[in-house]
Structures are given as structure tokens and as C-alpha cells.
Structure 1
């Protein structure tokens, strides 16, 4: 799920950069890309990958 969010943020960052849209200092394409990279790192680390509940016998 986090990888899908990261991919969406990468697309938004690309569109901001490609269309040369002027945004405020918080919502720049670099900041959106860094948030996407953070989500991708969390996905690779295994956080948010699904339920990891313990099984009872």
C-alpha cells in the first residue's frame, strides 16, 4: 500500500516539475519526491505490508 502511495507522489512530483508549476516552498516537486522516497523506504523495510498477527494453536 505504501508503494502505491509513493508511486502516486512520484507522478505528482513529475507533473509539477514537467509543467513548471509554481508552488509554495512546502509543496515543491523535490519535497513531494522526498516524501515518496520515504514511503518507498518504509515499504521496503516491511512496514505497512500487511497483517502480521500471531497464530494461536
Structure 2
């Protein structure tokens, strides 16, 4: 989920940087890029990922024997 949000933030940052718009308060395209990188780092760390617990508790789910 955080990776999708990061992709949207990167897209907004790219558009703002391409047009050269600067939002009042010091927010520019680079701010969105840095926010997107922070969200990607959180995603890679495993924060915000949905996990579905199976009955066995194994990350692979059911194993065939």
C-alpha cells in the first residue's frame, strides 16, 4: 500500500517539477520526491504491508506433503 502511495507522490512531484510550480510554504517537487523515498523506505522495512494469517501461521500458507 505504501508503494502505491509513493508512486502517486512521485507522480505529483514530477508534475510540479516539470511545470516549475512552488506551493506556498516551501513545498516543491523535490519535497514530494523526498516524501516518496521515505514511503518507499517504510514499505521496504515492512511497515504498512497487509499480512493475511493462515491457520498454520506459516508465511507460505499450506504446504503439500
So what's the TM-score if we normalise by structure 1? 0.80
- 5+ long unaligned stretches in structure 1: none
- 5+ long unaligned stretches in structure 2: 57-65
The CA deviation string for residues 2-23 of structure 1, in whole angstroms up to 9 with x for no partner, is: 0000000000000001011132
Corresponding residue number in structure 1 for 2:40: 40
Corresponding residue number in structure 2 for 1:30: 30
How far apart, CA to CA, are the structure 2 residues paired with 1:18 and 1:4?
21
Q: How many residues align?
A: 56
Matches within 5 A, 1:1-57: 1-51=1-51
How far apart, CA to CA, are the structure 2 residues paired with 1:17 and 1:35?
14
Question: What RMSD, in angstroms, separates the aligned Cα atoms of the two structures?
Answer: 1.9
Higher helix share: 1
Higher relative contact order (CA 8 A, sep 6+): 1
Q: Which runs of 4+ in 1 moved over 3 A?
A: none
